[in-house]
Amino acid sequence: MLAELAGRIGRYRDSENLLRRALELAPGFTAARSNLALVLYRQNRTSEALEMLDALLEFDPAHSANSNLKAAALGRLGDYQEAIALYEKVLSDVPGQPKIWMSYGHVLKTVGRLDESIAAYRRALEIAPMLGEVWWSLANLKTIRFDEHDISAMENALNTPRLKSEDKLHLHFALGKAFEELKQPDASFEHYNAGNMLRRAMQDHDPETTSRQVERAKASFTSAFFARHRKTGHLAVDPVFIVGMPRAGSTLIEQILSSHSMIEGTSELADIPALAARIGARGQGIEAIEAAELKSMGEEYLQRTRIHRKSDKSMFIDKLPNNWAHVGLISLILPNAKIIDARRNPMDCCFSNFKQHFARGQGFAYDLEHLGRYYSDYVDFMAHFDVEQPGRVYRVIHEQLVEDPEQQISALLDYVGVPFEDACMRFYQNDRAVRTPSSEQVRRPLNRDGFDQWRPFEAHLAPLTSALGDIVTCYPKVPSRFAKR
């Protein structure tokens, strides 16, 4: 019970320790073992969770909760077909489970089976019409338009007494999308803002924390520091990191690169942040780490990510946007890795974040001022890195990629170090699985649909424009105040 409480407030390590102690006392306590598998999954220790779930399901193959968690774990590791088969088995046994229908819809969307995904979401809503996350999942496909019946159903759900905050915020985000498509920006913004306010209340984001971290990183990662560490790190050449702001075109770049015969797309991997968190937990600066340990950390990263690689392609992509804050660490532990910065117009990018409900993380995205400050910190640190390590990071400007794809894609492939292949121009024909909110967008040819979507909402965006300041007018260049040593 103590472990359950610890898990509910996010103290997963404490929850794990308590569950392991419970299992020492009672090895046959299968409920505790199931909870431990869930806690491991929530700590991104997916392989360990799968191993435990396999043992549990061998003992009790009909346990639907364990089967559902295993399907989710398989999906996280990219074993989508096995996950789909397992979801289908669970739903044949317990068809009245709306959240399982929703999870089934998620994985169908990921592999591009869009019609079946929509059908699964609709089936979930037949069972539980007030389940806000399903409405948002439909909106998040970004390919369907809600009709009057849908809007009425969502508004009725919002008026349900004692509706959970999670359902409310998802309904608000979905209604924001519905009214945006109807070209009613005031009504749309009202719902987007309401959803963001609810989500922000659940977050503990302080923009000052990010700013302080950037200042510390700028002080540490200097040209002199890198000169002292010329021979550190693991020399592997296969990782390609795509960093930047969320909603800046990183999935598009990944789709283009993963259409190449030598490059495998994986997912948004949590391994670099995990290594960075371990360093931070010591209370020491990066300067205190010995060269041998930096090399070991590079090797550990390669080992941790190997499970996500499903082919024998020579290079692979780690597309976690927030890794912009860790480009210094990446450069130390993997000095030959490629780093690509995906950058998009600050107003389009930030407003797209404001409209997006993220499954986890991105605490900065639910407040317009916080968004502007986070984008500013990102630009600040990347400009610093450009000065201290010229040419280390390759920047792709989203608008330039859309306007001149052949030249931009050719230059991108040159940077990565692979020959041009025409398949990269036809990236939208790539049938790989895509797990991000842009999954359906990157299955279409390049277009200008995402340009200037913020303009109808301009009257509501003063906190954002104020926080961004001259970043907006300078784009795609950066203000000179960021480029100084």
User: Which residue, 281, 270, 316, is CA-closest to 46?
Assistant: 270
> CB count, 10 Å around CB of 332?
22
The pTM is what?
A: 0.88
The length of the chain is 485
> CB count, 10 Å around CB of 171?
30
From CA 119, how far away is CA 245, in angstroms rounded?
Answer: 32
3-state helix, strand, coil in the chain (%, to 5): 65, 5, 30
Q: Give the pLDDT score at 484.
A: 62
Within 338-404, residue ranges assigned H as helices are 346-355, 368-388, 398-403
CA angle at 166 for the pair 121 and 134, rounded to the nearest 5°: 5
Q: Give the pLDDT score at 440.
A: 62
For β-strands 239-244 and 315-318, DSSP reports them as: parallel
Rounded CA Rg of the chain: 23
Cβ atoms of 3 and 15 within 8 Å: the answer is yes
Q: Give the pLDDT score at 361.
A: 79
Name residues of the chain where pLDDT drops below 70.
Answer: 433, 435-443, 483-485
Q: Give the pLDDT score at 28.
A: 92
334 burial type by CB count under 10 A (0-12 exposed, 13-18 middle, 19+ buried)? buried
Q: Give the pLDDT score at 437.
A: 61
Distance between first and last Cα of the chain: 54
Cβ atoms of 99 and 120 within 8 Å: the answer is no
Q: Where do the DSSP E strands lie in 177-238?
A: none
Q: Give the pLDDT score at 297.
A: 96
From CA 466, how far away is CA 475, in angstroms rounded?
Answer: 15
Domains of the chain: residue spans and CATH: 207-454 (3.40.50.300)
* Both tokens assigned to 147: 């009709």
From CA 254, how far away is CA 438, in angstroms rounded?
Answer: 11
Q: Give the pLDDT score at 302.
A: 97
Scan for tokens 């317009």, then name that residue: 368
CA angle at 237 for the pair 332 and 340, rounded to the nearest 5°: 70
* Both tokens assigned to 294: 């930096």
